[in-house]
Chain A
Amino acid sequence: MNRSHSQMSDEQLVEAFQAGHLAAYDELVSRWQSKIRGAVWRVLGSTEDAADITQEAFLRAFRGLKAFKREAKFSSWIYQIALNLCRDSLRRKKGKSYVSLDEPEPQIPALLSKGPSPLELSEGNQLADRVRMAIQKLSEDQREVIILKEYEGLTFAEIAETLGLPTSTVKTRLYRGLVEMKQHLAREGVTSASPIHDSNEPWDRT
């Protein structure tokens, strides 16, 4: 059963699950969990909560998969769930950044989320850290599009499906996000944001 599951497409696995083969979900989880977790890490800008949100996303998908309409791609759907959870999480943290009378606990998570932990600083390479900080300065909309395109390798059509937007809007957000990234990176002192001329294009050959 498992061997045949591993050879099935996502669509076939969803179909099998909906027909009552719950173990098909196992294959979907193992196929997508590391990608989803990577996207969640990047959107949140920290490894904090990423595993929890990923797990929660797959749990929600498990609950909703029976009713899932197969016109959409499973991958787009699971990205959508994970991104929604990320937005909720970021909003909650933003809400916690001021002192609340209802919540006497110290706002440690909110403070930590403002920057990398000392461990992250010492372990991560500098460029990665600067890029991470620059991406965090983008709006959520731009950040999501850049992450889905640049790191998750989704097509414009897939991003459009995931975010429920027209493809042209996805491209516009991506363009604006990249332009802003250039400015943020320059402020962070990342020199590789300077113009690069490669010889792949005809106008560079002259």
Chain B
Amino acid sequence: MTATLSCDALRDDIIALLYDDGDPACKSRARDHLAQCVPCRAEYSDLKGVRKALQGWELPLPAPLPQTRATGRWFATGLAAAAGLILGIGVALAGRSAFAPPAIAPSSAANAGTDAARQFVSFDQLQEALKTQESRHQSEIADLRRSLTLVSESPAGGASSQLNNVSNLSPATIEQLLKASEARQARMFEARLAGLRTESDLQRQYDMAQVAAGLAYIDSRTGADAARTSELMKNLVRVTAKPQER
């Protein structure tokens, strides 16, 4: 049998069968036709072969886009970039505009933004770890104080005599010393937290400066890019205008 007019008429059905996308009646019509028509059957096999070859085109692994979920939210990324720009402008206005462009490739400004975001995350984690450590120390101190109170309440106990051998300090003095130590530790934690905060702020400022420098570099490259950047900024500024919705 040779290809006939009916072959052309059934082409849509045959395509529906090839992709298994269509109502059962279409596919059944195509099957019936293929069972009888040798040329259409040969072509159908060819098309299946083409489909198989097409599946051989796999894309290379994608480089992470600036706005993927893993590295930061779309808006957060944009906002970080916008914040970087604003900071850059602020720095320039304050007469400190002479910061040299950092020795990084002027890569995606948004990437630098996410670096800044990552910085915040690690700072939070650090803060969390410090809090855990502090609470552990507090509970250790509380335990120690409780045991000392027990000792002071039963001076005749063996443990107390053992303790008295170690130290001649009165429980009240020990408690005072403990309090002093506790206060010292609290101050130490405070100082460390403050140090970390400052360090993180400095890092953030540096990252933002990198973002600003990157944007400035992009701006200087082409007018089209500048237009796109300003368009992006316009939208982002619109988003930032309603912070309660974020």
Contact = CB atoms under 8 A, between A and B. Distances in A.
Contacts of A88: none
A202 B35 contact: yes
Contact of B62 (A34, A55, A124, A132): A34
B65 interface: yes
A174 B46 contact: no
A196 interface: yes
B184 to A, nearest CB: 42
Interface string B48-67: 11111111111110110111
A171 B62 contact: no
Interface residues of B, number: 48
B35 A33 contact: no
Contacts of B75: 22-23, 25-26
B228 interface: yes
Interface string A152-177: 00011000000000001001101100
A75 to B, nearest CB: 16
Contacts of B43: 179
State the majority secondary structure of interface residues on A: helix
Contacts of B35: 202-203
Given A185-B53, A193-B50, A203-B41, A175 B15 contact: yes
B148 interface: no
A156 B53 contact: no
Interface residues of A, number: 59
Contacts of A20: 242, 245
Nearest to B61: A123
A85 interface: no
A99 interface: no
Nearest to A159: B21
A25 B49 contact: no
B190 interface: no
B53 A171 contact: no
A181 B54 contact: yes
B65 A37 contact: yes
A182 B47 contact: yes
A29 B35 CA distance: 46
A23 B244 CA distance: 11
A55 B49 contact: no
Contact of A156 (B21, B45, B69): B21
A47 B45 contact: no
10 contacts: A23-B73, A38-B62, A59-B235, A131-B53, A151-B54, A175-B47, A192-B53, A196-B49, A197-B45, A203-B34
Question: Which 5 pairs show the lowest CB-CB distances between chains A and B?
Answer: A131-B57, A127-B56, A195-B45, A30-B69, A192-B53
Interface of B: 11-12, 14-16, 19, 21-22, 31, 34-35, 41-43, 45-60, 62-63, 65-69, 73-75, 228, 231-232, 235, 239, 242, 245-246
Interface of A: 20-23, 25-26, 29-30, 33-34, 37-38, 41-42, 47, 51, 54-56, 58-59, 62-63, 120, 123-125, 127-128, 131-132, 135, 146, 149-151, 155-156, 168, 171-172, 174-175, 178-179, 181-182, 185, 190, 192-198, 201-203
